[in-house]
A and B are shown apart, each in its own frame.
Chain A
Amino acid sequence: MENKLRLDIVTPHGLVLSEDVDEITAAGTEGEFGVLPSHVPFITTLKIGILIYKKGNETGYVFVNSGYAEVSPDKVVILADSAERAEDIDVDRALAARKRAEERLAQAEKYDFARATAALERSTIRIQIAERKVAR
């Protein structure tokens, strides 16, 4: 379709999303970036974050747990370690994960700091998305 972007989000656990959208915003390791149709070819690594896409009046939120984004003029491919759409996020699980991560960070000497931090980041962002209180 003219002036549309094909957004494919794939993970090792399957295809999460495949849609024609108008605009995409995602979190790269070097900072957030936006993509409109006819973007210059671009490849980047992604950090744990939120991917927002706009399709007409609809806005979609997807949790993306690090990976890569390949942007071509008419297509964006997200290769994520894992990804969930806002409606698929298990909030109870995220809340439990955040609590656990916080406890572990409190006793940092006993646990792997990097892992606990990453877990905290993941759960926090999941909760943010689920509550649609996207930090912007």
Chain B
Amino acid sequence: MPGLKEIRKRIGSVKSTKQITKAMKMVAAAKFRKAQTRILELRPYADKMNSVLTSLAQTVETGHPLLEIRPRKKVEVVVLTGDKGLCGAFNTNIMKAAFKLIKETRSEGIEVSVSAIGKKGTDLFKRRGLALRQSWVGISGRVSYLNAKEVTNDIIENYKNETFDEVILIYNEFRSALVQKVSVARLLPLAPVKAEESASREAAADFLYEPSQQAIFDNLLPKNLEIQVFRALLESQASEEAARMTSMENATKAADDMIAGLTLQYNKARQASITKELMDIVGGVEALKQ
């Protein structure tokens, strides 16, 4: 059995760890609330944008470069992780899904290039010896629309240059504070959009365009992509903070359990040493009496 002093020391260190995890939980909770508001505000806009595009895409047969479907020879996988750890399985789940997708696509004989958003993903790919096409670090934590723009511009440019024929984005979709889901979404090419809504829109066959169809598409398609990327960034951020909140909560609970166990052990050891001392004294007195 470890000595009294050692146990006391361990209790002290577990207590200070608990303080840290508790503080981190609180910080994550505050950040989470902010991120949650942002994503909940953006969702209606992103959804409406999508439905506008859906109704447009059904009626149009333009040769817009972003709508064109090319044979899949090279696929770009964009992996969205956080910059920091200590958030449970948040980053691990993403990476697992990413590696699986990369492996599957490669086994089909398709070339894969990988880009990472977030420090964790960047580091992990590097450690695995995977060359990254592009890496953006320092976005998570303070996501702004400009970040989405930067990423989108790069993707669009390379897509137009035929560096790759398809772009897939892997990110954590925010469901609730307790549930995050790894989501694999195809960013490009944009078409063909599902014909779900077509029933209600059968009459809306011919749109009038102002200034012109081409101008609208040139404007709307990149914008939509930006919004989808922005949305993914915000979804991921809300998920990250939620995951961190939960895992720090668990860590705090674990620390509590540990402290309880150690305290019990400490008391037992203390009692044992008192008993032992008493026995020594009693033994000594008895010896003197004789």
Residues of A within 8 A of B (CB): 8, 10-15, 28-30, 33, 40-45, 68, 70, 72-73, 77, 79
Contacts and interface: CB of A to CB of B under 8 A. Distances in A.
Contact of B41 (A14, A30, A72, A73): A14
Nearest to B227: A12
Contact of A8 (B41, B48, B203): B48
A101 B210 CA distance: 30
B99 interface: no
Contacts, number: 69
Interface of B is mostly: helix
Contact of A11 (B45, B204, B219): B45
Interface of B: 41-42, 44-45, 48-49, 51-52, 55-56, 145, 201, 203-211, 215-216, 219-220, 227, 230
11 contacts: A10-B45, A12-B227, A13-B41, A14-B45, A30-B211, A40-B206, A41-B203, A44-B210, A45-B215, A72-B201, A77-B48
A10 B55 contact: no
A29 B215 CA distance: 11
Contact of B52 (A12, A15, A79): A79
A28 B41 contact: no
A52 to B, nearest CB: 18
A45 B227 CA distance: 16
A10 B203 CA distance: 24
Nearest to B213: A43
Contact of B49 (A41, A44, A79): A79
B155 to A, nearest CB: 19
List the 10 closest pairs (A to B, CB-CB), nearest first.
A14-B41, A44-B210, A42-B208, A10-B45, A41-B204, A70-B52, A41-B207, A30-B210, A10-B44, A10-B48
A15 B219 contact: no
A54 B203 CA distance: 26
Contact of B219 (A14, A40, A45): A45
A43 B44 contact: no
Nearest to A80: B45
B216 to A, nearest CB: 6
Interface centre among B49, B51, B201, B230 (most CB of A within 10 A): B49
B52 A42 contact: no
Contacts of B204: 41, 72-73
Contacts of A33: 210
B50 to A, nearest CB: 11
Contacts of B56: 43
A45 B211 contact: yes
A8 B42 CA distance: 14
B200 to A, nearest CB: 10
Contacts of B216: 43-45, 68
Contacts of B48: 8, 10, 77, 79
